[in-house]
A and B are shown apart, each in its own frame.
Chain A
Amino acid sequence: MLSRVADSLYWMSRYLERAGHTASVLSLQLQVALDQSPAAAMAGWLRLLTSLRVELPGEAMTDTNAALRLVGFDQNSPASIVSCVAAARFNARQVREQISGEMWEQINRLYIWISNEDLDTLATRNPQELFDRVQTTAHLFQGLSDSTMSRGQGWHFMQLGRAIERACNVSSLLAAHFAWLDQAPTATPTAEDYTEWAGLLRGSAAYEAYCKLNSAELRPERIVEFLLLNPDFPHSIRFSLQVINDTLQALEREAAGVRLRHRSASGSGPQIGEARKIVGRSLASLSFSDLHEIMQKGLTSVVLDVRKSCEDVHFAVSRQYISYPIDFSVLTPTSPTSASVPH
């Protein structure tokens, strides 16, 4: 597969995951804020912006609509949902011959709908419609890619993008909501805290799954344990790291097979690539830790480590598959360069 194409598939998938995630937390924030005092709601907005890793506007924010536009509806803000959709669609357009027509049609439909809307009016009157459409498209797209795409490299690069993006997003959410646990692990939660935590779980599509496991009793350390360490829930960090690990393994196997078939000169390094070593270490440290140990290490430092690993994996993958240096000495002996070839 072309390196540029792999890169586009990866980013298409990342941007769509990001758009879906942002839509989901924004949608929750709008609902949660209804049950909160203005001060708590404002704190909620700031937490949301931090968790999305968006730079806060310089002056103190007094208008929650500004935040809504910044991460939702502003085409000039790279973090906004509409920008993420445009970026996902731009990448999809680069790889149209790689993804199935059905997948393209979903993402293109969403993009056309957004292009035809007056975004300011939509943000004031009915922001929920955008969130719903984006989430539905993200789910449909994932379902379609599962049922219409061969499990080749392209599919793996898409899984990789989605899992890396998801692991980053969930770690940022945890850091934004539970950093205080490191200082005051025994603080007594207030009613507003419960509202916030329920929102956090819903924002990661985890509320129902959490309740099945732990009943509806919301306790901060159980939430952390669920979103960080649960091996079975698709939005938990450990789950995403496992996907990254498996995907990288599949890519390495595939690349070795293709190299054999085409006898092409290798641009990549040893068989267990750097990226897989990084994610493997990170995954092992989560898989063999319990909550107690995590809390002793400090939650903030653990999730920051996860995010750092994801970033390192991203760059290692790029060095291995996308923008690798070329060793010309490998090329020359196998390449026929005769000038007089009869036709």
Chain B
Amino acid sequence: MYTQGLPRPHYQGLHQTLSALGADELRRRQAAADMSFLHQGITFTVYGDQRGTEKIFPYDVLPRLIPANEWDTIQRGLAQRLIALNLFLKDVYHEGRVFDEGIVPRELIWSCKHFRREMRGVTVPRDVYVTVCGSDLIRMPDGRFAVLEDNLRVPSGVSYMLANRQVMKRVFPAVFKSAGIQPIDHYAQSLLTALRALARPDIADPHIVLLTPGVFNSAYFEHAFLARQMGIQLVEGRDLLVHEGVVYCRTTEGLRRVDVIYRRIDDDFVDPVVFRRDSQLGVPGLFAAIRMGNVAVANAVGNGVADDKAVYAYVPRLIRFYLKQDPILPNIDTYLMEEADSRAFVLDRLHEMVVKAVGESGGYGMLIGPHATTEQREEFRQRIIADPRNYIAQPTISLSHAPCFINGSLESRHIDLRVYVICSGSVDKVVICPGGLTRVALKKGSLVVNSSQGGGSKDTWVLSPGHDRESIGGAL
């Protein structure tokens, strides 16, 4: 937010208004926001707690601003990226050109934990494997945004983006009038349009449902929220059944056919006949219905091959290969431990690198070199040598900071940005909601923004063109 002690231009208006408001008033509004979240039940469930406690996702009242020109780059970059990833997934599960032409080694994909050989040769409606993608961006020291990872399986958090904005409007109504903040309320509508496009063309009014693992899932609030916003049914596995390759749900009027499923359960649990046999969450026979083309499921099964941390390193090459374009958004430099040169390079510099296990997420299975002890580094060295395919390394990058209102005063915290990208009915049609979820590492100095590990969020305002230097607010 600051350059040389002064607020950056697009923050100046907000800075003035907030300064005029004073800490007490800000504190009052923060409390109002917290109560609003709690009473609306905008919460996530804390696992491992006997009482199944629901907590609010900690929320910071100070918004994060992104000027229109920066957003333009993000938008073009993410669209380009998603188009390439969708083409890549189709290629992986069908022709395999990317292997034949030596762009990506076949073994890398086939050894990937999330590769689903059952998907080989399966036609996916409109070739759209990824309908919803959540991409995590960070701001590099040079000011450019770079992609940290893509989530192509079951990305979550979008409800917090929408709920943050609703609460923000309630708490700071006046600031929205003049700010030129791009609205995000149409997200659910865009998602519904994208899902509808996946139904078979001969069905005039497709029956679309959202499949949730149930109330005990940590993201249940989000599932209910999205279902309500889209006006579609929220179903659990036990509401569905498959008969002769057709999916039905059990309703009070008898069985009703289901045409499109927006599923929020992982690949492993989708169908106990094909994947994990002990799954109680999925629907026996669902995969057969997918194969027969009787139901469309978004996101497609098997997408995990394209957001694997080792495959991530190849995404710029995939963009050049499929689109014949240069990547608009850079990757973080990534060293594959499988490649001997890179391995030697990294093992010499473990104290300055971040090492990640490729199959893990949520901040687990990770070594942050500069913060680690000699023993920890030695342990990772052995692990890398034992199973190089399972590890990648990246230079330690400090996340950018933003001011947060913590315990009544302004403090600086690390942030990242998750942007939700929708592929709407054909691979080249990408829709991005102008906003995102800015996640905050609330612990001082921490680099971990995950909600399960003490992360919070703040509203993210994308400014309309021409509003970058105007003042925001006036009377809040």
Q: Kindly identify, within residues 252 to 277 of chain A, every residue whose CB is under 8 Å from any CB belonging to chain B.
A: 255, 258-259, 262, 264-268
Residue of B nearest to A268 (CB): B254
What does the 1/0 interface line of B241-267 toward A look like (CB < 8 Å)? Answer: 101111011111111110000000000
Q: Does B349 count as interface, using CB distance less than 8 angstroms?
A: no
Q: Kindly identify, within residues 212 to 261 of chain B, every residue whose CB is under 8 Å from any CB belonging to chain A.
A: 215, 220, 224-225, 227-228, 233-236, 238-239, 241, 243-246, 248-257
A267 smallest CB distance to B (angstroms): 4
Q: Does A50 count as interface, using CB distance less than 8 angstroms?
A: no
B34 smallest CB distance to A (angstroms): 12
B56 smallest CB distance to A (angstroms): 11
A341 touching B200 by the CB < 8 A rule? Answer: yes
Given A2-B250, A94-B215, A97-B234, CB of A341 within 8 Å of CB of B256: no
Q: Kindly identify, within residues 282 to 332 of chain A, every residue whose CB is under 8 Å from any CB belonging to chain B.
A: 321-322, 324, 326, 328, 331-332
B239 touching A2 by the CB < 8 A rule? Answer: yes
Residue of B nearest to A255 (CB): B253
Docked CA distance A93–B249 (Å): 20
B254 touching A265 by the CB < 8 A rule? Answer: yes
Given A101-B40, A337-B246, CB of A2 within 8 Å of CB of B253: no
Given A2-B239, A90-B215, A96-B228, CB of A265 within 8 Å of CB of B251: no
Residue of A nearest to B230 (CB): A97
Q: Total interface residues on B, using CB and 8 Å?
A: 40
Docked CA distance A3–B240 (Å): 11
Residue of B nearest to A101 (CB): B40
When distances are taken between beta carbons in the complex, the residues of chain A under 8 Å from B254 are 259, 264-268, 324
B292 touching A339 by the CB < 8 A rule? Answer: yes
Partner among B200, B246, B252, B257 whose Cβ is within 8 Å of the Cβ of A6: B252
When distances are taken between beta carbons in the complex, the residues of chain B under 8 Å from A332 are 243-244
Residue of B nearest to A339 (CB): B292
What does the 1/0 interface line of B105-123 toward A look like (CB < 8 Å)? Answer: 0000000000000000001
B247 smallest CB distance to A (angstroms): 10
Docked CA distance A287–B397 (Å): 79
Docked CA distance A343–B238 (Å): 28
Q: Does B21 count as interface, using CB distance less than 8 angstroms?
A: no
A119 smallest CB distance to B (angstroms): 14
When distances are taken between beta carbons in the complex, the residues of chain B under 8 Å from A2 are 233, 235, 239, 249-252
Residue of A nearest to B223 (CB): A97
When distances are taken between beta carbons in the complex, the residues of chain B under 8 Å from A340 are 293
Interface centre among B220, B252, B254, B291 (most CB of A within 10 A): B252
Q: Does A153 count as interface, using CB distance less than 8 angstroms?
A: yes
- How many pairs of residues, A versus B, come closer than 8 Å at their CB atoms? 117
Given A4-B239, A94-B215, CB of A265 within 8 Å of CB of B255: yes
B243 touching A328 by the CB < 8 A rule? Answer: yes
B257 touching A335 by the CB < 8 A rule? Answer: yes
Residue of B nearest to A93 (CB): B215
A153 touching B126 by the CB < 8 A rule? Answer: no
Q: Does B294 count as interface, using CB distance less than 8 angstroms?
A: yes
Docked CA distance A343–B250 (Å): 27
Docked CA distance A324–B254 (Å): 8
When distances are taken between beta carbons in the complex, the residues of chain A under 8 Å from B236 are 4
Docked CA distance A101–B221 (Å): 13
A339 touching B293 by the CB < 8 A rule? Answer: yes
A3 touching B239 by the CB < 8 A rule? Answer: yes
When distances are taken between beta carbons in the complex, the residues of chain A under 8 Å from B249 are 2
Docked CA distance A108–B251 (Å): 27
Given A2-B239, A337-B245, A340-B293, CB of A96 within 8 Å of CB of B253: no
Q: Does A221 count as interface, using CB distance less than 8 angstroms?
A: no
Docked CA distance A335–B289 (Å): 12
When distances are taken between beta carbons in the complex, the residues of chain B under 8 Å from A93 are 41, 215, 220, 224
Docked CA distance A326–B246 (Å): 15
Docked CA distance A265–B250 (Å): 11
Docked CA distance A109–B37 (Å): 11
When distances are taken between beta carbons in the complex, the residues of chain B under 8 Å from A337 are 244-246, 292, 294
Q: Does B39 count as interface, using CB distance less than 8 angstroms?
A: yes
| Nearest 8 CB-CB pairings of A with B | A267-B254, A97-B228, A96-B224, A321-B252, A341-B293, A97-B227, A258-B253, A264-B256
Can you show 22 pairs from A to B with CB atoms below 8 A apart?
Answer: A2-B252, A4-B250, A6-B252, A93-B224, A96-B41, A97-B227, A104-B41, A251-B252, A258-B251, A264-B253, A264-B254, A264-B257, A267-B253, A267-B254, A321-B252, A331-B243, A331-B255, A335-B243, A335-B244, A337-B246, A339-B291, A343-B123
